[in-house]
Amino acid sequence: MNRLMIIVPDKISDFVSKGEIIERYYNPGNLFAEVHLVMTNDDAPDLAALQKMAGDARLFLHNLPDSRKVFVRTLGWRPWLLGPWVAKALDLAQAVRPTLIRCHGALLNTFAAAAIKRKLGIPYVVSMHINPDEDVRGRARGWVRRLVTRLQQDIERIGLLNADLVMPVYRPIVPYLQRLGVTRYEVCYNSLNPTHLRRKDDYRLHDPVRVLSVGRQFEDKNPDNLIRAVAQLPNVRLTLVGDGPYHAHLRRVAEDCSIVDRVKFLPSLPNDELCRRLPDFDIFATHSEYWEISKSVLEPLLTGLPVVINRRRGAPVPELTDDICLLVPNTAEDYRQALERLIADAGYRERVGRAAYAHAQTNWSPAVTEAKFVAIYRRVLEASGSTLVAKPC
């Protein structure tokens, strides 16, 4: 039986509560008959709510908690002291007998996968969703957090260097892998909604104009200048989807700008509904200082929505170019000018949207991404001497 073991550090129940449930996310192409989701915490998500992510496979949930006690007893995850914790991961792998292991991120989960491969010969792949040098160590605040992020580096290195393949979800992660000496890597963009993303086929403006912004609301993804820009455009309505520590701040900005009646706040929206509604907006606009192309930006590009996003501080995001979006400085005036240009010039607005759609479909469509993961899984198993059992007709 084909079994996939997925080891994650995330609290999956958070994804469930936010409605971030992507069909076959954990089982591309329905390759596996069983999916065993192993969480390195004590989370207990709703199994039924997650089933769609495993496709046709039977889904199992397991916990291997990486508690604070583990961190203290191993002096900050020293590899030579992690034997007792890794033994539990080995016992689970021996009981499950997976065909392949996939890890999300490079923490204790990937260190465990390396130990399982060494002991049991089971291949593993790792998807990297951030650049730890940039997004973890580079943004650490306070000496405790800085110390913890430095202590992570040893297990990161072991887990990534021994992987059969590392799959960064965007190109800015590659410099981190190269610094570590990882040579077996391939950029594989995020798996997105395969059913509910639909093409925008009408670029006539609504009255009032509908602008959408999606993302977690905190310091480095703070869209307050977008709110200030909308305040200068009387016939524009802004919908902000997301929550976070800056949520109250953004509400105050809307109040200060006297446009509470023109800014709609939605703390969350199920991904299926969000994807269905994207083409009903006229423009997507956001702010991010992260060196990434996020899921929340990929989705509107895939529908053909014109996208406005800031030029980040530091190196530019290679995937985001002037050919597929409007890149602006992070000021209220520049956001206003970009929105005004898209609103005033119907031909330009449609050209930007259609160019974004064509490029995104070629590079990031759910079908392209899913097929790529299927091919990678088959290739890794073949290279390791394993094979996928053919499904019965």
Domain assignment present for 198: no
Instruction: Output the domain CATH number for residue 146.
Output: 3.40.50.2000
- The predicted pLDDT at position 393 comes to 41
Q: Is the peptide bond before 392 cis (omega within 30 degrees of 0)?
A: no
Q: Which of 35, 73, 77 is nearest to 53 (CA)?
A: 35
- Regarding whether 38 and 83 lie in a shared domain, the answer is yes
**272 and 165 in one domain?**
no
Query: How many domains does the structure of the chain reveal?
Result: 2
Could you say which residues of the chain have pLDDT below 50?
393
Query: What's the pLDDT at 131?
Result: 95
Domain identity same for 83 and 142: yes
**Same structural domain for residues 232 and 351?**
yes
Is the domain of 174 the same as that of 244? no
Q: Are residues 174 and 25 in the same domain?
A: yes
pLDDT of residue 140: 81
| Helix intervals (H) in the chain | 12-18, 47-50, 68-73, 83-96, 108-120, 132-135, 143-161, 174-180, 224-231, 247-256, 271-277, 295-303, 332-344, 346-364, 366-384
CA distance 287 to 242: 13
Residue 344 lies in a domain: yes
Q: Which domain holds residue 33?
A: 3-188
Q: Are residues 241 and 154 in the same domain?
A: no
Cβ atoms of 371 and 29 within 8 Å: the answer is: yes
Report the C-alpha gap between 124 and 113 in whole angstroms: 7
Q: What is the 3-state secondary structure (H, E, C) of 188-224?
A: CCCCCCCCCCCCCCCCCCCCCEEEEEECCCCHHHCCH
Mark whether 306 and 263 lie in a shared domain.
Answer: yes
Say what the pTM is.
0.93
Query: pLDDT tens digit string along 223-245?
Result: 999 999 999 999 999 999 999 99
Query: Which tokens sit at 25?
Result: 């996310």
Residues 176 and 223 in one domain: no
Of the candidates 149, 99, 159, the one whose C-alpha atom is nearest the C-alpha of residue 128 is 159
Q: Which single residue is written with the structure tokens 């006690």?
A: 69
CA angle 107, 370, 59 (to 5 degrees): 60
Let me know whether 167 and 302 are in one domain: no
